[in-house]
Amino acid sequence: MPEASQYDEIGELYEQVKDLPFGVSEWATVVSALPDLRDRTVLDVGCGTGAYTRMFRRAGARQVLGVDPAREMLAVARAAEEREPLGISYEPHDGITMPKLGDFDVVAAIWPLSHVGDRKSYDRMVANLAENLAPGGRLLVVVPNPDADSDRLDDYPRYGMTVTPGGYTGECVETLVRVHSEPPFEFSGFGWPSGVFEESCAAVGLTEVRRYPTVVPETDLAERGAEFWAVLLESSMFAVFTAQRPSPGE
């Protein structure tokens, strides 16, 4: 199945992800990596149903554009905008082929790189993300954790996700993900080895690539206890990175 079109079958179900334990931690880790968004412009590539897109606007961004190639995901995002207008625009674009849409202070790509299965397209998407950044702007991505300990995968279901690695396609491992929502849903993606994101950023002049430690909100830590969260904190299924587009003269 083509990578993005599998999300046409998921649509609204994806909204439940943010309430599952891995989603709660992913959200908190993304927030920890964001600059102050007040009065900034944000492009959200692979915005899906728009949960982060709405958060960016609520955090004070003055202009937010969400793009995604999956019709059904965008339909859910647009329906939320109709119900509660926040002034967010949504457009259908694929990160591999998208044009320059503007000079954004922040470009977010929360998971779309995990749906790219060949290096040329991966580098193309990173180049397009960079191209849409204003000088001094920040790229934020969420990707499958390239350093995840494969011996800990059996512990992931308690966080709301089962991850089953398949075979290698070139450099990357094709992986089946089952999300334990009600009802559950599945999608496949690709895990890229450590260092690929950094190399791809360097090739298009992005600097200061930084990985953020996985965090869990204090209330959730207290509610479920440190033992529950231990594996996620040590060997999470996701990794949050940022990179900078240098300002002129830097």
Ligand X SMILES: C[S@@+](CC[C@H](N)C(=O)[O-])C[C@H]1O[C@@H](n2cnc3c(N)ncnc32)[C@H](O)[C@@H]1O
Can you give the binding site for ligand X, defined by CB under 6 A? 3-4, 7, 45-48, 51-52, 68-70, 73, 94-96, 110-112, 115
CA dist., res. 65 & res. 86, Å (int): 11
Closest CB to ligand X among residues 29, 244: 29
- Least spacing, CB of residue 224 vs ligand X, in Å: 22
Q: Indicate the DSSP class of residue 114.
A: G
- Least spacing, CB of residue 227 vs ligand X, in Å: 27
Helix, strand, coil fractions of the chain, as percent rounded to 5 = 40, 30, 35
CA dist., res. 66 & res. 195, Å (int): 27
- Least spacing, CB of residue 92 vs ligand X, in Å: 10
Residue showing the smallest CB distance to ligand X in the complex = 48
CA dist., res. 246 & res. 192, Å (int): 25
Closest CB to ligand X among residues 3, 105: 3
Closest CB to ligand X among residues 72, 105: 72
Closest CB to ligand X among residues 5, 207: 5
- Least spacing, CB of residue 124 vs ligand X, in Å: 10
Q: Indicate the DSSP class of residue 110.
A: E
- Long-range pairs for 124-127 at CB < 8 Å and ≥24 separation? 124/96, 124/97, 125/45, 125/95, 125/96, 126/197, 126/200, 126/201, 126/203, 126/204, 126/206, 127/203, 127/204
- Least spacing, CB of residue 250 vs ligand X, in Å: 29
Closest CB to ligand X among residues 11, 137: 11
